[in-house]
Amino acid sequence: MWWKNILDSMVRFFNENALVKLISLVLAVLVWFYINGLLKVQKVLNVPLELINLPKGFEIVNKANLPKYVQVNVSIPKRKYDNFEFSSKDFVAYVDLASPRLGLSKYNVYLSSTLPEEIYVFHVPSEVFVDIDVVITQQVKILFSQSNFSSDVDQVVVIGFSRYLIDLTNIVVKLESEIKTPTNIQIHVTNAIDYYPKVIRVSGY
């Protein structure tokens, strides 16, 4: 019968060079497990970037321009992925500013995680440029665009970055000549973090 002929052919196939075929089968299985172990699952996470340990009295000038997140790329063996879950909460990305340098300088972005060390992780960016300055308080004299005016105060206290205030000795308040009665005038100080008073009372004479 035809099926008996097929069965006999299969028996002869496995009986001929049986040892070689067994070794080939074992090698194929080993290669399959090896390749499967090399396969990686890639996962990309966005982790918030933290700026830590900045000493009191220092401020970041370009904070608005720094990246808010670090892109973390995780490569994990495929055989482990089904039983291993992780998220951005397993990572902390930070810049350590404990030893700040005035001006624009490059700082390393560090990444810590709770993942096993064998899992390959890299992050972008690995460095950022941070602009740091000292915050100072300075008294600045108030001047008027015309000499026939006076105010209830003659100085304004200005708080700001040293780079902007170091050469600031006075501010000029521009007034209209028709002011005849005491009037409240709002003043403006460029590049200041804060200042007071913001309103002065001006009189003409």
46-105 per-position pLDDT tens digit = 999 999 999 998 999 999 999 999 999 887 776 665 566 778 888 999 999 999 999 999
More confident residue, 16 or 142: 142
Assess whether pLDDT exceeds 60 at residue 32. no
Give the pTM.
0.67
Query: Is 199's pLDDT higher than 80?
Result: yes
Q: Which residue has the higher pLDDT, 144 or 48?
A: 48
d(CA 33, CA 27): 10
* Proportion of the chain above pLDDT 70, given as a percent: 73
Q: What is the pLDDT of residue 83?
A: 63
Q: What is the mean pLDDT of the chain?
A: 81
Query: What pLDDT, on the 0 to 100 scale, is given for residue 2?
Result: 52
More confident site: 108 or 15: 108
| Two structure tokens written together for 149 | 């005016």
| pLDDT over threshold 70, residue 21 | no
Q: What is the pLDDT of residue 137?
A: 92
Give me the percent of the chain exceeding a pLDDT of 90. 38
Antiparallel, parallel or unpaired: β 91-96 and 40-52 = parallel
Report, as an integer, the average pLDDT of 1-20: 56
Q: Is the pLDDT of residue 174 over 60?
A: yes
